[in-house]
Each structure stands twice: as C-alpha cells, then as structure tokens.
Amino acid sequence: MKKLILLIISIFTLQVFSQSVVLESFGPNFDSPVEIKNAGDDRLFVVEQIGKIQILNSDGSVNSTPFLNITSNVQYGGEKGLLGLAFHPNYPDNPSFFVNYINNNGNTVISKFSVSSNPNIADTQEDILMTINQPYGNHNGGCINFGKDGYLYIGMGDGGSGGDPQNYSQNLNSLLGKILRIDINHDGAVYSVPESNPYIGIDNAQPEIWASGLRNPWKFSFDTYDTFGGLEIDDLWIADVGQNEFEEINLVDNYISSGLNYGWRCYEGDDIYNNSNCPSSDELTFPVATYSHSNSGQFKCSITGGYVYRGELLNNMQGVYFFADYCSQEIGLLNKENDIWNYSLVNPTAPGSWVTFGEDINKELYIASVNGGLYKIVSAALNTNDLDERNISIYPNPFENEIYFNNLAVTVNIIIYDINGKELLTFENHKDNVLHLDILDSGIYFININNQIKKIIKK
C-alpha cells in the first residue's frame, strides 16, 4: 500500500509540473532585430533589419558605434533588409564575416566584410560573393551559417508570392527555395563549390545547391554534440515556413545527407499542396514535426527556427530544440521520447513577435521580437500535460476489456505499468481510439502515453 501511495504522489507531482519559459530582458530595445550571433567571444552581434549590426556586451550595454552600418546598400521593409550574419569559423585569426541582405534592386546579396584594427568596428569595404535575383519581395530566406565542414550554408526562400508560382523550389536550375553550400576559403575566386556538393556536373542543376524543396527556411542551425561513444555528431535543423496551414521542422541527421528534397511546393508539411509534376513522395524528405495554424490552440502563422539547447543554465533542456511562432508568440520545445518527436508550445513570460533566436559563447539562448525586445531564456520546463490539453480522455474507468480514447489525433507510444511500476505492456505507434487490455487481470494499473499523460486505470 505504501508503494502505491508513493507512486500516486510521484505521478501527481509530474502532472502538476507546469510548463514554462522564463524570459529576462537583456539589453535595450533594438530596431527590428532579425539575427543574433556570437563571434566566439562574449559579445553578441545583433543584426538590425535596416542594415546595421550592433554589439551587445555581456553586461547588457550596447556599443555607441554600430559594428557595421550598410543601410545605404540595403532595401528594407517587410521581409527585406539585412537578414543574415556568420563569422568566419577561424575568427579572429581570420577577421572576416559574411552577411546576407536585400540590395537596392531588391535582390539577395551574399558578401564578405572584414573587421578593422578595432575589433568592435568593421571595415565597410565589401566583397560581393553572390547576387541572386528575387522575383518577389517576400520569401528571401536570409539565414547563413558555417558548418563544421567549414563551408558556408545559405538559406534561400522560394522567391516569394504564394504557392511558388514559377515552381522555383523544385527546379534545380534555380537557386531559390534551396540551401546552398559554398567554400569561401578558395584562393583567388570569391568562392568555389565544394567537390562534395551533390549536383556538380548534373545537367540543368546549379552546383551551389545542397538541398532543395524549401519554401522559406527561417531559420536553420547546426547542432554539434558528442555521443557517449565519443563520436562527434553534427545535425542540421531547418525550420521551413508554411503556406496556408502547416509550419515544419526538418532534421538532417549528421548532415551527411546532401541532395535531399524537402518537398515544397508539392507538400506543405506532410500534406499535398500542389502535386503536379512532382517527384514521388519516397524521393522527398518529410519534416520530423509540423504544427497547424488553426488546429493547435492559439492561431499560428510562421515558424522561427532556433537551436538545440546545449547550455548549462536550463535544467533538463539538453537536446531540446527551441523554436517559436511569430503570430501566437509561443515558444516551442521539441524533443524525442521513445523514438517519437513531441513538441510543446508555451506562452513565455514576455510577449513578442519572435523573429530570431541567438546563442552565446556558452550556448545559452536568446530570443528577439521584431518589435525590438531581446531576451535571455533563463528557465524552461516541459509540460507533462501537453496531450491532456488536446483534451484526450480515457474511458471507461474502471474498464472491462478495453479502454477508449477520445480525440487521439496523433500516433502515440503507450506503456502499461502495474502498481509496483513494473512495465507490463507496450504499444508502439498506436493510432486507434481503442486499446485492448483483455490480457490484464483485475487490478490497478498505470497508463503512460508518450511520457506525458500518466493516469491510473482500474480493471
């Protein structure tokens, strides 16, 4: 009996363990901040969409002179502006950095700048690496990052309008709707194409393309970690903004898989969007998670991809992928349990139209609203009631031979325990609204659904 009471208490504790993301204001308000990067030291570089990069110091102060001001080169407004920043992997030995912006002709520019003799001020001398024509004002991508392979990855949207009317994302002859990969360390030329890029020498394909079928990757990040066996893993996470209904998160395991097609405009999330002249679905790579605009609580509209957490401040958040939605102002936490990806969406302690996350040198996370607020994420907890909030209930209880779920719209893993906590039955990838438990004797059991719902059931 004592054991039973202890178990009930521990289950109750789990049930009331509430979900939260605590934000602490960090620094002053910025002018439409759209990116936050570090350069391997304790400064944060805040990219303002108008065409400036500000230095935010670890004490929360901002340098009076911007690190870079290229407002006269930048067309700003809507989804246009200075959008991306990446420091050279060997900074400061190699004092260069790269930016992604929309120029005064409305086209995407990737260019290289150098830091001056003062590490807090950049030279305004610019080397343009690439200019990519933009057919419409929206869907300009903008995120750039170096991989552990030392190559520069560039996130390109489908060019814009709606529904990708020219079908750029599926067209390997266009750099739009892709992730590109270039080598910026090439002697002489501004860049070269890595020999391992997937479309070199292929007819009607651009050699810079590394992945295709993206609508507007806002944003992507690398996650580097060591396995218990000491193997270093590099994953790539790509958040792709949806058209009408589904926002998606894509994971490129140990990002060795180049040449993948992420499906847009054939698919939006896992649903067919426009499947004319499309490859078969088994040639496409589908997201590890999607969320709906209107069928998952508060109205949502546009994903902002973040980072897998690898810092020390947030307890129990190791390996959790952080993302956000621009409209609902929620912060999302995605993690894998029992081989199933689960996400929670949380109203953080401060509101914001979230457009970027950032990581400092210690891998702690920051988030910024396009309205100017920048915050450090100082605490976060996963909700154990996430599925409960979708109003899943279990009936009847007590039951005879089977139990029923209402509203089980997702695939779940179910474990049945006895009152001593011994695992009795496991049902993987369960979808039905009925679960047959004739095999059990009369008694008290615990049912665990995706480690989120834990309930006592009686037979």
CA 155 to chain centre: 13
Q: Which of 217, 263, 305, 352 binds Ca ion (CB under 5 A)?
A: 263
Stretch that binds Ca ion, among 158-166, 195-203, 388-396, 415-423 (CB under 5 A): 158-166
How many residues bind Ca ion, per CB under 5 A?
A: 8
Task: Identify which of residues 99 and 416 has a Cβ nearer to Ca ion in the complex.
Answer: 99
- The minimum distance between CB 133 and Ca ion, in angstroms, equals 9
Q: In what order do the strands lie in the sheet with 82-87?
A: 82-87, 96-102, 108-114, 127-132
Task: Identify which of residues 36 and 288 has a Cβ nearer to Ca ion in the complex.
Answer: 288
Task: Identify which of residues 281 and 426 has a Cβ nearer to Ca ion in the complex.
Answer: 281
Q: In what order do the strands lie in the sheet with 434-436?
A: 393-395, 402-406, 434-436
Element (H, E) at 290: strand 289-292
Task: Identify which of residues 111 and 250 has a Cβ nearer to Ca ion in the complex.
Answer: 250
- The minimum distance between CB 218 and Ca ion, in angstroms, equals 12
CA 409 to chain centre: 23
Q: Does 174 bind Ca ion (CB under 5 A)?
A: no
CB 336 within 8 A of CB 318: no
- The minimum distance between CB 412 and Ca ion, in angstroms, equals 23
- The minimum distance between CB 173 and Ca ion, in angstroms, equals 17
* Helix (H) and strand (E) counts in the chain: 2, 34
**Tokens of residue 272, six digits:** 């067919």
Name the burial class of residue 317, with classes exposed (0-12), middle (13-18) and buried (19+) by CB atoms within 10 angstroms of its CB. buried
**Tokens of residue 336, six digits:** 């894998």
Stretch that binds Ca ion, among 29-37, 180-188, 254-262, 347-355 (CB under 5 A): 254-262
Q: Does 352 bind Ca ion (CB under 5 A)?
A: no
Q: What's the CA gap between 307 and 319, in Å, rounded?
A: 9
DSSP 253: G
**Peptide bond just before 455 cis, omega within 30 deg:** no
- The minimum distance between CB 242 and Ca ion, in angstroms, equals 9
Q: Does 145 bind Ca ion (CB under 5 A)?
A: no
CA 285 to chain centre: 16
CA dihedral 165, 171, 175, 176 (to 10 degrees): 20
Q: Does 198 bind Ca ion (CB under 5 A)?
A: no
Between 124 and 143, how does the x/- string for binding to Ca ion read (CB under 5 A)?
----------x-x--xx---
Q: What's the CA gap between 392 and 404, in Å, rounded?
A: 10
Task: Identify which of residues 136 and 404 has a Cβ nearer to Ca ion in the complex.
Answer: 136
CA distances from 180 to 67, 93, 165, 353, 361 (A): 27, 25, 21, 28, 26
Residues in 50-109 at the binding interface with Ca ion, rule: CB under 5 A: none
**Tokens of residue 245, six digits:** 């209904």
Residue type present at position 294: S
Q: Does 160 bind Ca ion (CB under 5 A)?
A: yes
Residues in 328-347 at the binding interface with Ca ion, rule: CB under 5 A: none
Element (H, E) at 219: strand 217-226
Task: Identify which of residues 139 and 219 has a Cβ nearer to Ca ion in the complex.
Answer: 139
CB 452 within 8 A of CB 385: yes
Task: Identify which of residues 159 and 177 has a Cβ nearer to Ca ion in the complex.
Answer: 159
Q: Does 242 bind Ca ion (CB under 5 A)?
A: no
Residue type present at position 364: E
Task: Identify which of residues 136 and 341 has a Cβ nearer to Ca ion in the complex.
Answer: 136
Stretch that binds Ca ion, among 142-150, 161-169, 256-264, 308-316 (CB under 5 A): 256-264
Q: Which of 151, 222, 262, 405 binds Ca ion (CB under 5 A)?
A: 262
Task: Identify which of residues 134 and 342 has a Cβ nearer to Ca ion in the complex.
Answer: 134
Q: Does 170 bind Ca ion (CB under 5 A)?
A: no
- The minimum distance between CB 220 and Ca ion, in angstroms, equals 13
Binding site for Ca ion (CB under 5 A): 134, 136, 139-140, 159-160, 262-263
